[in-house]
A = this chain, B = another copy of it.
Amino acid sequence: MEVVVPFAAERPKTRLEGVLTVEERREFAGAMLADVLTSLDASHHAGDSPRPTVLTTAPVTVDAPVRVDQRPLSDAVNAFLDERTPGPDSPVAVVMSDLALATAESLESLFSTPGDVVVAPGLGGGTNCLVVRHPEFRVDYHGVSYCDHHRAAESVGATVRDVDSRRLAIDVDEPADLAEVLIHGDGPAREWLVGAGFTLSTDGGRVRAVRE
Contacts and interface: CB of A to CB of B under 8 A. Distances in A.
A167 B120 CA distance: 12
A9 interface: no
A183 B146 contact: yes
A169 B167 CA distance: 10
Interface in A153-200: 164-170, 173-174, 176, 179-180, 183-184, 200
Interface in A116-153: 121, 123-126, 143-144, 146-147
A169 B166 CA distance: 6
Given A105-B164, A166-B164, A15 B121 contact: no
Indicate how many identical chains form the complex.
2
Contact of A179 (B124, B143, B179, B183): B124
A47 interface: no
A106 interface: yes
Contacts of A109: 164
B166 A125 contact: no
B202 A123 contact: no
A121 B205 contact: no
A66 interface: no
Nearest to A206: B124
A125 B206 contact: yes
A207 interface: yes
A144 B180 CA distance: 11
- Residue among A144, A166, A168, A169 having the largest count of chain B Cβ atoms under 10 Å: A166
A174 B206 contact: yes
Given A173-B206, A180-B123, A184-B121, A200 B144 contact: yes
28 contacts: A15-B205, A103-B164, A106-B164, A109-B164, A123-B170, A123-B180, A123-B206, A124-B179, A124-B180, A124-B205, A124-B208, A125-B179, A125-B183, A125-B200, A125-B202, A125-B206, A143-B207, A144-B183, A144-B200, A144-B207, A146-B183, A164-B165, A164-B166, A164-B167, A166-B166, A169-B169, A173-B206, A174-B205
